[in-house]
Amino acid sequence: MNHFFHIPRTLLVGDKSISEEVLFADFKVVVVLAEPGGGKTSLLEHIARQKGVGVRYGPRQVSIGRTGFCVDILAPEFELTPENFVIHSHTNRADHLTPEDHTRSNGKSWRFTSVTVGKMPGRQVTIYDKRLEVTDKRKPIWWELWNANLNSEGLPPLDPKDRSESQIWRVEVRAGKRIMKDRWGITT
């Protein structure tokens, strides 16, 4: 059974955007860099299938480190307030950044931009300013996706330049390797 699924992307090379189809026409060597979850593996598998090359692996040769679920919420008037989080008594909360804290709050421009409760390889919930990430890291594909979704509902598109009308917050719930094994009996 083939479980391969790939979403074609536009790649950013410097200031130039190129489609996957012309990737090898312009470049002999390609280095793919992306943050975790950015789709590097999917892209490389897709390219390998197109070129008829690649590495085959069996079911026990793949290890899943975490799984998660996320929702993007259009909430222009929402203000992230760490003090409003209700957390388990065994979970610490701190409003500063240190590796041993269970809750991290990041702020920029006199407002909080993210709060993370929990830590891996256990479980985590994080709420963060997805709009800020998209604009800071130049990920225009998100505006296209969000606007396509709004268009399908008959709603007007978002203006990326107007934060007061296009504030998107992401809520992510993550389960790490320990939770997958201990609670759900999933081992990889």
Q: Judge whether 34 lies within some domain.
A: yes
Cα(6)–Cα(45) distance, integer angstroms: 9
Mean pLDDT of the chain, nearest integer: 77
* 26 and 71 inside one domain: no
Closest CA to 116 of 89, 88, 82, 78: 82
Q: What is the DSSP string of 36-71?
A: TTSSHHHHHHHHHHHHT------GGG----EEEEEE
* Amino acid occupying residue 135: T
pLDDT of residue 96: 31
Q: Output the pTM of the full model.
A: 0.61
pLDDT in tens, 14-49: 788 887 777 766 666 666 667 777 777 777 777 777
The answer to the question of residue 61 being in a domain is no
Q: So what's the pLDDT on residue 168? A: 93
Which pLDDT band holds residue 169 (cuts at 50, 70, 90)? Answer: very high
Q: What is the pLDDT of residue 138?
A: 86
Looking at residue 181, its pLDDT comes to 84
- Kindly tell me if the per-residue pLDDT of 172 is higher than 70: yes
Per-residue confidence (pLDDT) for residue 155, from 0 to 100: 93
Nearest of 98, 94, 118 to residue 178 by alpha carbon: 118
Boundary of a domain, candidates 56, 76, 94: 56
Residue at 5 is within a domain:
no
Assess if residue 164 is contained within a domain: yes
Residue 30 is encoded by which pair of tokens?
Answer: 């390609």
The pLDDT of residue 80: 84
Which residues are within 8 A (CB) of 58 and not within 5 positions of it... i.e. 6 or more apart?
none
Q: Are residues 79 and 99 in the same domain?
A: yes
The pLDDT, as a whole number, for residue 98 is 30
Looking at the structure, do residues 48 and 90 belong to the same domain, yes or no? no
Domain hosting residue 89, numbered range: 66-182
The 3-class secondary structure across 149-181, one letter per residue, is HHHHCCCCCCCCCCHHHHCEEEEEEEEEHHHHH
Q: What is the pLDDT of residue 163?
A: 86
Do the Cβ atoms of 126 and 115 come closer than 8 Å? yes
99 and 35 fall within a common domain: no
Do 52 and 70 lie in one domain? The reply is no
pLDDT of 54: 63
Residues 6 or more apart from 61 whose CB is under 8 A from it?
A: none
Domain count, the chain: 2
Q: Report pLDDT digits (tens) over 82-140.
A: 788 888 777 755 443 333 344 555 555 567 788 888 888 888 888 888 998 898 888 88
